[in-house]
Amino acid sequence: MNDSPGWATPGSSPSDPSDGERQGAPAGQPAPGDQKWSAQQPPPGQWSSPATGQGTPQQPPQQPGQGWGTYGQPQGGPYGGQYGHPGGPGPWGKPPAAKPGVIPLRPLGLGEILDGAVTTMRSHWRSVLPITLVVATVVQVISLLVQKLLLADLVVSTNGTPTPEELVNSLGSGLSVTVATNFLDFLGTVVVTAMLTMIFSRAVLGHGSTVSEAWRDARPQLLRLIGLTLLLGIGLTLLGAVLVLPALLLDSYGLAFAGGLAWLVLAVWLWTAFTLASPALMLEKSGIFTAFGRSWKLVKGSWWRIFGITLLTFLIVLIVKAIIVMPLTLIGILVSGTGLTGLTDGSAAYSWGALIFSAVGLIIAQMVTMPMQSGVTVLLYVDQRIRREALDLELARAAGVENHASGATGG
């Protein structure tokens, strides 16, 4: 066991509820040979109260309907504990979960996942910021030059009715720009995702990571991550072609619409089922198909939860991009120097001013959104492994936390 990404052998720990009950031990007690529990367990019947001194502390008379909380002070409710419920940090409550890094080592809630991503961006900005800034700048500069080169000779119709030649020219130029810029974005996203995954994995343990360390850890799996992402994208595209193209060839637009709708549902379902394949591949040092299988197993039974968190993250990213990019793009169009003619015929949209301001906006937006997306995905992966494989025990050992009990709740 070490502090490097990967943490534990996948699937080596028991999953889901009460392992002691599954293996024949009484509920709440460790089963023989159960590795999920710490080797140092307190002897039965030896729990002591928080009061100091010798002997049994004297308690004041308990009033009806009133329990006793921390240090023998009365609390409301029939169970005692702080705030009058059994989960409080009193003598009867569980200890708070260890938090060596950006998240507590227990099953996470939505707020904790988002907070963990933001906390990592803020506390490890010396590593996160250079990676996103450099990659986003390189991608946007190349994309700007590609757009200007491919759209420089685009003929814009001035009479409102484009000729067939103008239509073909516009379609070809637009398609070329879309393919080129999307491919550049894809490569940049893969590189950033690979490196940020390593930074987030160390942040969970409370360890920092330099840019060189993140690159060193990510580089061996980079080609596999590119292959995994391409394979998923190509597979979803082929699925759409199978469901839609036959209907279009038969001129059955209703059937084509139904096929497109079915493809959309299947694409969302498959994308969610494989959303944890990227961190599984990077952190477990596995192969492409093994990573797909790991994601399928981890998401199974939690599809709606993971879909909801992923969708919410996507909407947050979309809103942030719109807030940053759209005003700068509009400013670029207004200062492009093409005047009202450029605004009406659309030529201002690919002027130098518009392209430069749009690129600046995208660089700023990606510096915020790319770490957010990568962080949420990594923390979802960690959360699912804690829930199913008791990964928190391995993380606690790697972080040097002693006597960590799996499933501990926060105080």
Rounded-to-integer distance, Cα 276 and Cα 295, Å: 5
As to burial, measured by CB atoms within 10 angstroms (0-12 exposed, 13-18 middle, 19+ buried), residue 231 is middle
The pLDDT of residue 184 = 87
For the chain, the straight-line distance linking the first and the last C-alpha, in angstroms and rounded, comes to: 28
Rounded-to-integer distance, Cα 264 and Cα 101, Å: 38
CB distance 306 to 272 below 8 Å: yes
| Maximum Cα–Cα distance across the chain | 98
Question: Within 13 Å, how many C-alpha atoms sit on residue 85's CB side?
Answer: 4
Reduce the secondary structure of the chain to three states and give it as a string. Answer: CCCCCCCCCCCCCCCCCCHHHHCCCCCCCCCCCCCCCCCCCCCCCCCCCCCCCCCCCCCCCCCCCEEECHHHCEEEECCCCHHHCCCCCCCCCCCCCCCCCCCCCCCCCHHHHHHHHHHHHHHCHHHHHHHHHHHHHHHHHHHHHHHHHHHCCCCCCCCCCCCHHHHHHHHHHHHHHHHHHHHHHHHHHHHHHHHHHHHHHHHHCCCCCCHHHHHHHHHHHHHHHHHHHHHHHHHHHHHHHHHHHHHHHCCCHHHHHHHHHHHHHHHHHHHHHCCCHHHHHHHHCCCHHHHHHHHHHHHCCCHHHHHHHHHHHHHHHHHHHHHHHHHHHHHHHHCCCCHHHHHHHCHHHHCHHHHHHHHHHHHHHHHHHHHHHHHHHHHHHHHHHHHHHCHHHHHHHHHCCCCCCCCCCCC
The pLDDT of residue 347 = 63
Q: What is the pLDDT along the chain (411 residues), one digit of tens a residue?
A: 444 445 544 544 434 443 444 344 444 444 444 444 444 444 443 333 333 344 444 444 444 433 333 333 344 444 333 344 444 444 445 667 889 999 999 999 999 999 999 999 999 999 999 999 999 999 999 888 888 777 665 555 555 566 666 666 667 666 777 788 888 888 999 999 999 999 999 999 999 989 999 999 999 999 999 999 999 999 999 999 999 999 888 888 889 999 999 999 999 999 999 999 999 999 999 999 999 999 999 999 999 999 999 999 999 999 999 999 999 888 887 777 665 555 565 666 677 778 888 889 999 999 999 999 999 999 999 999 999 999 999 999 988 887 776 654 443
Task: Enter the tokens of residue 352.
Answer: 């130098």
Task: Enter the tokens of residue 270.
Answer: 């498959």
Residue spans per domain, the chain: 113-396
The pLDDT of residue 344 = 60
CB distance 13 to 391 below 8 Å: yes
b (16+ CB within 10 A) / e for 145-166: ebbeebbeebeeeeeeeeeeee
Q: What is the pTM of this model?
A: 0.73
The pLDDT of residue 180 = 80
Rounded-to-integer distance, Cα 252 and Cα 262, Å: 15
Task: Enter the tokens of residue 162.
Answer: 């484009």
Rounded-to-integer distance, Cα 72 and Cα 276, Å: 46
CB distance 205 to 395 below 8 Å: yes
Give the torsion sign (CA, 91, 411, 37, 18).
positive
